[in-house]
Amino acid sequence: MLQIKTGQTLLFTGDSITDCGRSYPLGAGSGLGNGYVKLIDCLLASSYPKTAIRILNTGINGNRVTDLRDRWQKDIQIYKPDWLSFMIGINDVWRQFDTPDDLTPVTPEQFETTYRELLQNLPKKTKPILATPFLIESKPTDPMRAMMDTYGSIVKKLAAKFNAHLVDTQAAFDTYLKYRPSETLAEDRVHPNQTGHLILAKAFLDSIGFDWKHNRS
Which of 23, 98, 188, 214 is flagged as catalytic?
188
Distance, in Å, from the CA atom of 91 to the CA atom of 41, rounded to the nearest integer, reads 25
Sign of CA pseudo-dihedral 207, 82, 34, 89: negative
Distance, in Å, from the CA atom of 199 to the CA atom of 185, rounded to the nearest integer, reads 10
Residue 82 is a catalytic residue: no
CA 117 centroid distance within chain: 18
Residue 85 is a catalytic residue: no
Q: What is the DSSP string of 126-143?
A: PEEEEE----S-S-TTSH
Taking CA atoms, 165 is separated from 55, 106, 193, in Å, by 17, 24, 25
Which of 47, 153, 165, 191 is flagged as catalytic?
191
The three-point CA angle 208-210-212 to 5° equals: 155
Distance, in Å, from the CA atom of 66 to the CA atom of 110, rounded to the nearest integer, reads 9
Distance, in Å, from the CA atom of 62 to the CA atom of 39, rounded to the nearest integer, reads 22
* Other CB atoms within 10 A of residue 143 CB: 12
Which of 15, 16, 85, 92 is flagged as catalytic?
16
Residue 207 is a catalytic residue: no
Distance, in Å, from the CA atom of 74 to the CA atom of 32, rounded to the nearest integer, reads 19
Q: What positions carry a catalytic annotation?
A: 16, 188, 191
